[in-house]
Structure 1
Amino acid sequence: MAHNYNDRSGGKHMTFDDDHDNSEYNARDSFKRKNNEEDRFAFGKRQRFGGQNDNKPRFENWNSEAGRMNNWNSNKNKKWQDAEQFEEYFEDVPRPEKPRKYTISIAVPASILEETCKKDELRTYVVGQLARAANIYSVDEIIVYDDKCWRKKNVAGTGSDRQNLIEMMRMLLEYQECPQYLRKYLFSFHRFLGKVGVLNALNAPHHLLSKQWCEYREGVVLDRRNKSLSYVDVGLSSEITIDKKLDAGVRVTVRLPPETKDLTKRFGVVVSPDEPREKCGYYWGYTVRVAHSLTEVMTGGRFQNGYDLLIGTSDKGEDIKKTEYPKFYHALIVFGGVEGLESAIEADDQLEATEPHHLFDFYTNTCPMQQARTIRTEEAVLISLCALQDKLLPKGKN
Structure 2
Amino acid sequence: MSSHKSKKRKPNNDLNHDTLDTSKPSAVFVPTKGRSHTLSIALPGSIIANAITFEQKTALAGQVARACAVFCVDEVVVFNDGQASTRPPEQEGFTAFSDPNYFLYHVLSYLETPPNLRRTLFPMHPDLRLAGALPSLDMPHHLRSDEWCEYREAVAARQEKVEGTPGTLLDCGLSANRVFVPVLLEDRTRTTIKMPAQDARRQNTKSALTCKAVSPDTPREEAGYYWGYSVRQAPSLSAVFTEAPYEGGYDVSIGTSERGHPAQSILTPGMDGYIEPTWKHLLVVFGGVAGLEAAFSADAELQRAGVPAVKELFDTWVNLVPTQGSRTIRTEEAVWIGLTTLSVALAARGGAE
Q: Where on the TM-score scale, by shorter chain, does this alignment land: which range?
A: 0.7 to 0.9
Give 5+ residue unaligned stretches, structure 2. 1-27, 90-94, 267-273
Q: For residues 159 and 362 of structure 1, do their structure 2 counterparts lie closer, same or farther at Cα, with a shift above 3 Å needed?
A: farther
- Aligned residue for 2:188? 249
Give 5+ residue unaligned stretches, structure 1. 1-92
- Aligned residue for 1:370? 324
State which of 166, 170, 178 in structure 2 corresponds to 1:228.
Answer: 166
State which of 280, 283, 296 in structure 2 corresponds to 1:332.
Answer: 283
Normalised TM-score (structure 1): 0.72
- Aligned residue for 1:353? 307
State which of 218, 224, 249 in structure 2 corresponds to 1:275.
Answer: 218
Checking the alignment, whether the CA contact within 8 Å between 2:43 and 2:79 is kept in structure 1 is: yes
Q: For residues 195 and 216 of structure 1, do their structure 2 counterparts lie closer, same or farther at Cα, with a shift above 3 Å needed?
A: same
C-alpha distance in 2 between matches for 1:343 and 1:354: 14
C-alpha distance in 1 between matches for 2:178 and 2:308: 55
Deviation at 1:163, TM superposition (A): 6.4
Checking the alignment, whether the CA contact within 8 Å between 2:61 and 2:104 is kept in structure 1 is: yes
- Aligned residue for 1:206? 141
C-alpha distance in 2 between matches for 1:163 and 1:280: 41
Deviations 1:33-78 (A, max 9, x none): xxxxxxxxxxxxxxxxxxxxxxxxxxxxxxxxxxxxxxxxxxxxxx
User: Pairwise CA RMSD of aligned residues?
Assistant: 1.8
C-alpha distance in 1 between matches for 2:133 and 2:326: 27
Deviations 1:324-354 (A, max 9, x none): 2122100110000001111111111211323
- Aligned residue for 1:145? 79
One-letter amino acid matched to 2:101:
I
Q: Does 1:219 align with 2:158?
A: no
- SS at 1:123's partner residue? helix
Checking the alignment, whether the CA contact within 8 Å between 1:255 and 1:268 is kept in structure 2 is: yes
Deviations 1:252-273 (A, max 9, x none): 1000012242212322110110
Deviation at 1:224, TM superposition (A): 4.7
Deviation at 1:248, TM superposition (A): 1.1
Percent of aligned pairs sharing the same letter: 40
Aligned residues: 300
- Aligned residue for 2:57? 123
C-alpha distance in 2 between matches for 1:246 and 1:307: 31
Deviations 1:118-171 (A, max 9, x none): 111111110011010001001000000000022xxxx26x47678622111111
Alignment of 1:3-42 (within 5 A): none
Deviations 1:233-262 (A, max 9, x none): 111013211111211110010000122422
Normalised TM-score (structure 2): 0.81
- Aligned residue for 1:316? 259
Larger radius of gyration: 1
Deviations 1:149-205 (A, max 9, x none): 22xxxx26x476786221111110010000000011101011101111431100100
Q: For residues 260 and 248 of structure 1, do their structure 2 counterparts lie closer, same or farther at Cα, with a shift above 3 Å needed?
A: farther
Checking the alignment, whether the CA contact within 8 Å between 1:104 and 1:330 is kept in structure 2 is: yes
Give the strand-richer structure, 1 or 2.
2
